[in-house]
Structure 1
Amino acid sequence: MSTIRDQIVAEARTWLGTPYVHQASCKGAGSDCLGLLRGVWRAVLGPEPESVPSYSMDWSEPQGDERMWQAARRHLTSKAVEDMEPGDVLLFRMRAGRVAKHVGIVSEGGEAPRFIHAYSGHGVVENTLSDPWRRRVVACFGFPLEDF
Structure 2
Amino acid sequence: MTGQGARIVALAESWIGTPYRHQGATKGVGCDCIGLVRGIWRELYGNEPEAVPAYAPDWAERSGEERLLEAGLRLFGPALPMDAAAPGDLLLFRWRPDCAAKHAGIQAGPRHFIHAYEQAAVICSALVPSWRRRIVAVHRFPVAPVD
TM-score, with length taken from structure 2? 0.93
| Aligned-partner residue type, residue 57 of structure 2 | M
**Contact map agreement 1:9 1:87 (CA 8 A) in 2:** yes
Task: Give 1:63 deviation, angstroms.
Answer: 2.3
Q: Percent identity?
A: 45
- Report how far residue 104 of structure 1 moved: 0.3
Partner of 1:101: 102
Q: In the alignment, what sits opposite 2:71?
A: 71
- 1:122 aligns with 120
2:108 and 2:22 mapped to 1: Cα distance? 23
User: What is the aligned residue count?
Assistant: 143
Give how far 1:60 is off: 3.1
CA contact (8 A) 1:85 1:106 kept: yes
Match of 1:6 in 2: 6
User: Which amino acid in structure 1 is aligned with residue 58 of structure 2?
Assistant: D
* 1:139 equivalent in structure 2: 137
For residues 128 and 36 of structure 2, what CA distance do their matches in structure 1 show?
A: 21
Superposed, 1:25-104 pairs within 5 Å as: 25-77=25-77, 78-104=79-105
What CA deviation, in whole Å up to 9, does each residue of 1:33-92 have, x standing for no partner? 000000011112221111100000112322210001100100013201111000000000
What is the DSSP-based 3-state SS (H/G/I as helix, E as strand, rest coil) of the residue aligned with 2:18?
Answer: coil
Contact 2:60 2:101 in 1 (8 A): no
Residues in 1 aligned to 2:117 and 2:97: alpha-carbon distance in whole angstroms? 18
How large is the Cα RMSD of the aligned pairs? Answer: 1.3
Q: Is the Cα contact below 8 Å between 1:4 and 1:44 reproduced in 2? A: no
2:16 is paired with a residue whose SS is: coil
State the SS of the aligned residue for 1:61.
helix
In 2, Cα distance between equivalents of 1:38 and 1:9: 14
5+ residue gaps, structure 1, are none
Contact 2:93 2:101 in 1 (8 A): yes
Distance 1:46 1:18 in 2: 20
Does the 8 Å CA contact 1:19/1:122 hold for their aligned counterparts?
yes
